Structure 1
Amino acid sequence: MTGTALLALMSMGTVGGAHLLSNARWTWRAPRVGIALWQAMGLCWGVATIGTLLGIALWPYSQGIVRGLPDLWADEAARLNALHLAALLAAVSLTAVLLVMLLYAVFRVVRARRRHRALLALVSRRDSAVPDTLVLDHPIAAAYCVPGVRSSKVVVSAGTLELLDPDELAAVLAHERAHARERHDLVLLPFASLRQVFPQIRLVGRSLDAVELLIEMAADDRARRHRTPRELATALLRFAAARPAAAPSGTLGVATSGDIPVMARVQRLMDPEPIRRSTRAAAMAAVPLLVVLPILLYAVPH
C-alpha cells in the first residue's frame, strides 16, 4: 500500500477511534493517559488528513509528499489535472483554516483573560481565610482559576465561602491550583478551535466534552494528593446542589455543567478503580505511534 492510502486509513481510523474514546470509561481511571491519547489522536487526524490530500495532489510525481513537493514547485504544478489541483487546494485550505482558527482561539482566550484580570483588579478582594486567592462579593457559589504564563489567579465567591466548610474549601482550592499548575487550558485550546471549525459535527463536540471531563478528573486526582477524597467529593456535591455560576470565558471552574459528570467524579473519588496495566501500556504505546507514524508516511513514495 502507498503512503497516501495508509494516511487515509489513519485519518478514517482516528474518526472511529474518537467515537470509541468519547464513549470509553476506562479513561476515567487514568485521566492523564486519556488526555494524552486524545491529544495524539487529534494531531494524527490533522496530519493524516492533510497528508492524504497532499498525496492525492502529488500522485503524478510518484515520489510521495516529501520528495514530491520540490518537484511540484519546480515545474509549477504543470503535471496536475483538475482532481490533483482540487486536492492540493483542499490540503492548503484545511491547513490554513486549522492554523488560523487555533490562533484565533488563542487570541480570544488571551483577550478574555486580560479583560477579566482587569475586572478582578477592581471588584475582588483578599481574605486572610483564603490566602493567595481572590474573593468576589457575590452570593452565588463560584470557584475558578484564571491561568496565565507568569501567574495564575484562583477566584472564589463569597457564596462559596458560606457554602463550604474549611476542609472542603481547601480541597476546591487545591483542585483549582492543579488546573493552573498543569496548564489544562492549553490542552483544551486545540479541541475548542476544532469545534469552531466544525460546529455542526457532533463528534467534535463530544470529543471536547470528553476532554473537559478528563481534565477535571485529572485536577481531582492532583487535589487528592493534598486533601482527602471525601472533602473534594462533598464539595462537588454541594456545588452541584447550589447550581454554581458558569465559569467566565477563558477560565477553568471546579464544577462541570450537568449532574452526570459531577456524579461520575464523585463516584471515582469515593470508589477509585485502578486501570489495568495492559490497558495503560497499550494506550501509552499508541500515543507516540499516533504522533510519529503519519509524519513518517509523508516520506513513503507511491
Structure 2
Amino acid sequence: MVSAALLSLVAVGCVLAMEALHRAEWPSRGPYTAVITWQALGLAWGVSTIGALLAYGLSTYELGAAAGLVALVTDVVTGELLLTELSRGLEGVSRIAAVVLAIALTLVLFYGLVSSFVHVVRVRRRHHDLLELVASEHPDVPGARVVDHPAAAAYCLPGVLRSQVVISAGALAVLDNRELAAVLAHEHAHLRQRHDLVLLPFSSLKRAFPRAPLIRTYYESVALLIEMCADDQARRTSSSRELAMALLRFGAAGPAPVPAGAMAALEATTPGVVRRVNRLLRPDTELPYHAGAFIMGGSAFLLAAVTCLWHIPV
C-alpha cells in the first residue's frame, strides 16, 4: 500500500508540474529542455497512474506492481484470483476493479499511440502520392516541391524514405529569397530532428482522450515549443528578422489549409505565432546551462523513481 500511495502522489505531482510548466515563461528560453521535460512528465504520469492502480489491486501479493503482475497471470490461469478476492467482500471487489482499470488505461493509451501512428502514416502516404501528381520542382526552391496554389503555405511531410518539404506558389509570391531560405531551413529542421515523432505521444494522448481540454492545451504547448526549436535551428543559417518577417507575411496573406500529418511553418489557428515572432525579434537570454542540466537531471530522477516504486514490495 505504501507503493500505491507514493505512486499516486507522483501522478498528482506530475499533473501539477505540467500545469506549472504550461504557465511558466522559461520554456521559450530553452525549448529543447522544455520538450524533454514535457515528455518525462507525461511518461511518468502514465506509468505512475497505472502503477498506483496495480500496486493497490495487487497489494495482497506483497510483491509490488511489477512482480505482482507475474503472480496475477499465474492466478488468472488457475482461476484462484477471482475466488480469493471475491471472498474478501467489498475490499476484494475494489482491488479487482483497480486492476481492471489499470489494464483499461494501458489499452487506451496503447490504442491512442498505435491509431495515431497508423492514421498519420496513411494520410502521409496518400499526400505523397498526390504530390507526385500536382507538385513540381522549381529552380529557385532547391530541396522542395512547389504546389500551384494561391494561398501562402509551407509545410513538411516527414517520413523514413521520402520526407518532403512543400511550398505553395502563393508563398513564393509573398516571400523574398532570404525569407524563403529561412522558411525552408525551418522545415528542414523539422525533418532532420524528426519533430513529428517527438509530438506523436502527445497527439496520441489527444486522440485517446478527445474530450479532455487539458490534454489539448498541453498538446498545443508542446507543439509551440517544437516550432520554437525549429526556429532556433533556422536562425543558425538565417537571421531572426528574416524568419519573423516570413511568419508575418504568411499571416498577412490569409489562412492556408495544412494537410493532416504535416508540420507547417505557420498555422492560421495557432495562437502562439505572436509569441514566436516576438521571441525572434526580441530574444530573451537563453536558459543557463546549469539550469538546463538541473531540469534534465530532475526529469531523469523522476523516471528512475517511478521505476523503483513499481518494485517496492509493500
Q: TM-score range by the shorter chain?
A: over 0.9
Map of 1:34 onto structure 2: 34
Q: Offset of 1:256 from its aligned partner?
A: 3.5
Tell me whether 1:253 sits opposite 2:294 in the alignment.
no
Map of 1:210 onto structure 2: 221
Q: Partner of 1:75: helix, strand, or coil?
A: helix
Trace 1:255-270 onto structure 2 (pairs within 5 A). 255-258=266-269, 260-270=271-281
Residues 258 and 267 in structure 2, CA contact (< 8 A), matched pair in contact too: no
Map of 1:103 onto structure 2: 114
Trace 1:68-217 onto structure 2 (pairs within 5 A). 68-76=68-76, 77=81, 78-80=83-85, 81-217=92-228
Residues 7 and 297 in structure 1, CA contact (< 8 A), matched pair in contact too: yes
Trace 1:224-243 onto structure 2 (pairs within 5 A). 224-243=235-254
- 1:281 pairs with one of 270, 293, 310: 293
Q: Offset of 1:260 from its aligned partner?
A: 4.2
- Identity over aligned pairs, percent: 46
Specify the code of the residue in structure 1 equivalent to 2:167. V
Distance between the aligned counterparts of 2:19 and 2:46, measured in 1?
A: 16
Distance between the aligned counterparts of 1:246 and 1:60, measured in 2?
A: 56
Q: Partner of 2:272: helix, strand, or coil?
A: helix
Residues 53 and 87 in structure 1, CA contact (< 8 A), matched pair in contact too: yes
Residues 135 and 155 in structure 1, CA contact (< 8 A), matched pair in contact too: yes
Deviates more, 1:237-246 or 1:217-226: 237-246
Residues 7 and 48 in structure 2, CA contact (< 8 A), matched pair in contact too: yes
Map of 2:306 onto structure 1: 294
Distance between the aligned counterparts of 1:259 and 1:43, measured in 2?
A: 25
Specify the code of the residue in structure 2 equivalent to 1:183. R
Distance between the aligned counterparts of 1:288 and 1:35, measured in 2?
A: 14
Q: Partner of 1:120: helix, strand, or coil?
A: helix
Distance between the aligned counterparts of 1:218 and 1:106, measured in 2?
A: 22
Report the CA distance shift for 1:110/1:260 in structure 2 as closer, same or farther (over 3 A).
closer
Residues 141 and 157 in structure 1, CA contact (< 8 A), matched pair in contact too: yes
Q: Deviations over 1:241-279 (max 9, x none)?
A: 112313210000001334741121111112221224453
Specify the code of the residue in structure 1 equivalent to 2:281. M
Q: Offset of 1:23 from its aligned partner?
A: 1.6
Q: Offset of 1:291 from its aligned partner?
A: 2.1
Give the TM-score taking structure 1 as reference length.
0.96
Distance between the aligned counterparts of 1:243 and 1:286, measured in 2?
A: 43
Distance between the aligned counterparts of 2:169 and 2:295, measured in 1?
A: 42
Map of 1:47 onto structure 2: 47
Distance between the aligned counterparts of 1:225 and 1:42, measured in 2?
A: 30
Distance between the aligned counterparts of 1:90 and 1:283, measured in 2?
A: 32
Deviates more, 1:92-101 or 1:139-148: 92-101
Give the TM-score taking structure 2 as reference length.
0.92
Distance between the aligned counterparts of 2:67 and 2:126, measured in 1?
A: 47
Specify the code of the residue in structure 2 equivalent to 1:125. S
Residues 111 and 208 in structure 2, CA contact (< 8 A), matched pair in contact too: no
How many pairs are equivalent?
302
Distance between the aligned counterparts of 2:232 and 2:108, measured in 1?
A: 36
Q: Partner of 1:28: helix, strand, or coil?
A: helix
Report the CA distance shift for 1:39/1:89 in structure 2 as closer, same or farther (over 3 A).
same
CA RMSD for the aligned pairs?
1.4
Specify the code of the residue in structure 2 equivalent to 1:131. P
Q: Deviations over 1:132-167 (max 9, x none)?
A: 110000110010000001231000000000000000
Give the gaps of 5 or more residues in structure 2.
Answer: 86-91
Q: Partner of 1:127: helix, strand, or coil?
A: coil
Map of 2:88 onto structure 1: none
